[in-house]
Amino acid sequence: MYTKAEILSLQSLTKAFIESQHNIELVSLRKVLKFHEYQYYVAADPLISDYEYDVLYQQLINLETANPNLIVQDSPTQRVGNSLNNNFETIAHLVPMLSLENSYNAEDLNDFDRKAREGAGLDEIAYCVEPKFDGASISLVYENDFLVRACTRGDGVAGEEITQNIKQIRSIPLSIPLSQYGIQQMEIRGEVIMSKKSFHDFNEKLKAKQLATLANPRNAAAGSLRMKDPKEVGERNLDAFIYHISYYTLTNGYATPSLLKTHSGSLELLWNLGFRSPQKEKKVITNMEGVINFCTHFEIERDNLPYEIDGLVIKVNDFFLQEKLGMTSHHPRWAIAYKFKARQATTVLESVEFQVGRTGAVTPVAKLKAVAIGGVTVSSISMHNEEYIREKDLRLGDTVIIERAGDVIPQIVQSIPTLRKGNESIIQFPTTCPICDYPLEKEETEAVWRCNNPECSAQIVERMIHFVSKDAMDIKSFGDANIRKFYEMDLLKNIPQIYHLNFEVIAKLEGFGKKSVDNLMAAIENSKTQPLYRLIYALGIRFVGETTAKTIASHIHHILDLQNLTIEQLQSYEDVGIKVANSIYYYFHEPKNIELIKELEALGLNMIQTNATAVDGNLSGLNFLFTGTLMQLKRSDAETMVEARGGHILSGVSSKLNYLVVGEDAGSKLEKAKKIASIKIITEADFVELIKN
């Protein structure tokens, strides 16, 4: 889109504008801002910090406010819409938006290829293969270089006008140099998506506000298009891939641009015009055999992409051939979707189990009629809390759509009310603990109901499961099932009893050979020398995760030193906020907890911060945070390297952070860090260098 020379000149203009805030010329400033929007949102290669962008953007607003006659419709400031403009009028597409035929295996694809070859009268056809983006489809119309209209797909013939909302998506340019190609009007198609990262960040924000989270990025994207307030759309950080030119007219005297002979050429043209087309993702393959190979291999890549795709689209590359093949009433004969294994399925919500966790939180768990999705059988899914059930209006007996996406745990997407028969019933949330019958309580600021009975057997068992878990005391060969079993058999009633189990009885139990008993004994014994932070984490103090446990361990000598620290002192530690400080303070002022710790000390568990973690290395006193995907190192190894050299790992960006190590696809943490001048932002390679010194 931008030539090397243009990039260099725009960069030097940027620098000049940032350095001297006066004498900024409005038209050039607008060019500079457009260029940086492109670099950030389309080329995914930002050249200035968010902060610098914001400063320049504010300058543009100031200049435009002072000279309103100089405002143009494609100014970066003109994305900010007015909610009154959103009336979602129905508008006919210039060309109907057809859908694609689906295929699921090599046989379907060979069938499609055979028909296409017959239709074209050829032995072999070259195809262009690209991702099938899992979002919401849109159609855009540009006239005389400007975006004039954006619509949803609707019924394919007509959609709803959503121009104001679409203008919030920064990878969609407000103007494009169509006239350079002799094009007067152009209608294009694409997909609005939410990246996995934006989806995750958005859900975190919802969670923080105690609002129901969204089920998947597709729903998040689709639900955004018809929002009343364009500003809210802006907050969702959406993206758009444009993959199809459905219609264009030429300016008098111009010939069809040479790129518009093939589909891959049209993707290149779209890219040159400034769109995020699948230009880099696409692949032209000379025959169906190659396409099939590509499809089967690509499915594995699916989880490595920063956005969701639900398959690949295979298109006859040559436009002349596309024309020759034409369409049926539903789909083009020149394209087909290859769908990956479904990650959604419908099933029946048969019952609800209320589980009590180690902090007493009561979680409703849906028991479903077992169903296979993506190669795994699912019969039970967490429904988080009561609000989640109410928001989704889930009822016993409902048919529900469930989804299992990549590494995401299964979710209920929605119920299907139209399939209700009338015998479905409202899910009643219990008022007392399903295990100990203690009345449940809910704090005003929380969404969960809790059993606050510390003697509740479910909590005792869950606390023991947490204590032995991998990131805590790491007592291998214990396992949840054995803890439950030993508890029921009265062999294990509390944490200290882990250290005086009756192995004579255990050795006689079914499934316990000599070897497994020996392993368990050794693992329990070894856990006594675990570093202090593991013990702190294992105690299950609310809000104290592994990182916080490491931080507090590094500030004390003996665990009971924590009894003498004030809330203010605790808060002065990196990453310890008021909530965490309070929780630690109260934990160490509860006599029962102190009794437990003393008992564990008497049993020989390490209570002391040893030198192994409090090393005085070359990173001593420095705070680090890793973000994005590291290419060379495993994140946990990199963190251990920092700690082994005396550095600390923080869990979030704050002014206490010294180094942010940035991997691939870094997101909000990077953006936040850019705004704090004292943070050094370094690459993985820089980090490797740094630790060598």
Which of 245, 600 has the CB closer to ligand IVH? 245
Enclosing H/E stretch for 152: strand 146-152
Q: Least distance in Å: CB of 100 to ligand IVH?
A: 4
Q: Which of 64, 191, 424, 639 binds ligand IVH (CB under 6 A)?
A: 191
Q: Return the axis-axis angle of helices 4-19 and 26-41, rounded to nearest 10°.
A: 120
Which of 334, 478 has the CB closer to ligand IVH? 334
CA–CA distance, 222 with 429 (Å, rounded to integer): 31
**According to the binding rule CB under 6 A, does residue 130 interact with ligand IVH?**
yes
Q: Least distance in Å: CB of 547 to ligand IVH?
A: 39
Which of 188, 227 has the CB closer to ligand IVH? 188
Which of 130, 403 has the CB closer to ligand IVH? 130
Q: Return the axis-axis angle of helices 50-66 and 26-41, rounded to nearest 10°.
A: 150
Q: Which of 17, 133, 199, 307 binds ligand IVH (CB under 6 A)?
A: 133
Q: Which stretch binds ligand IVH (CB under 6 A): 132-140, 159-167, 196-204, 619-627?
A: 132-140
**According to the binding rule CB under 6 A, does residue 335 interact with ligand IVH?**
yes
CA–CA distance, 447 with 209 (Å, rounded to integer): 10
C-alpha of 461 from chain center = 32
Q: Which of 332, 479, 531, 577 binds ligand IVH (CB under 6 A)?
A: 332
Contacts of 569-577 with C-beta under 8 Å, sequence gap 24+, read: 574/623, 574/648, 574/650, 574/654, 574/656, 575/547, 575/548, 575/551, 575/650, 575/651, 575/652, 575/654, 575/656, 576/548, 576/551, 576/552
Neighbours of 296 (CB within 10 A): 12
**According to the binding rule CB under 6 A, does residue 313 interact with ligand IVH?**
yes
Catalytic residue positions, numbered: 132
Rule CB under 6 A: which of 67-126 touch ligand IVH? 98-100
**According to the binding rule CB under 6 A, does residue 337 interact with ligand IVH?**
yes
Q: Which stretch binds ligand IVH (CB under 6 A): 116-124, 128-136, 230-238, 679-687?
A: 128-136
Q: Least distance in Å: CB of 121 to ligand IVH?
A: 22
Paired with 372 in beta bridges are 377
Which of 162, 625 has the CB closer to ligand IVH? 162
Q: Least distance in Å: CB of 301 to ligand IVH?
A: 15
Which of 231, 331 has the CB closer to ligand IVH? 331
CA–CA distance, 538 with 318 (Å, rounded to integer): 62
Q: Which of 53, 142, 181, 243 binds ligand IVH (CB under 6 A)?
A: 243
Residue nearest to ligand IVH (CB): 137
Q: What is the CA radius of gyration of the chain?
A: 30
Tokens 């264009």 belong to 248
Q: Least distance in Å: CB of 155 to ligand IVH?
A: 12
Q: Which stretch binds ligand IVH (CB under 6 A): 295-303, 330-338, 342-350, 493-501?
A: 330-338
Q: Least distance in Å: CB of 309 to ligand IVH?
A: 8
Please report the DSSP string for 60-84 in residue order: HHHHHHH-GGG--TTSGGGGS--GG
Which of 24, 336 has the CB closer to ligand IVH? 336
| DSSP letter (8 states) at residue 439 | B
CA–CA distance, 445 with 232 (Å, rounded to integer): 24
Torsions phi, psi for 241 (to 5 deg): -105, 135
Q: Which of 30, 149, 244, 674 binds ligand IVH (CB under 6 A)?
A: 244
Q: Least distance in Å: CB of 162 to ligand IVH?
A: 15
Q: What is the dihedral of CA 590, 592, 598, 601, to 10 degrees?
A: -100
Which of 99, 632 has the CB closer to ligand IVH? 99
Structure tokens given for 278 = 């699948």
List the one residue out of 120, 117, 158 whose CA is nearest residue 139.
Answer: 158
Whether residue 457 contacts residue 356, with contact meaning beta carbons closer than 8 Å, is answered with: no
The answer to whether the Cα torsion of 499, 500, 502, 504 is positive or negative is positive
Q: Least distance in Å: CB of 203 to ligand IVH?
A: 23
Total residues binding ligand IVH (CB under 6 A): 15
Binding site for ligand IVH (CB under 6 A): 98-100, 130, 132-133, 137, 189, 191, 243-244, 313, 332, 335, 337
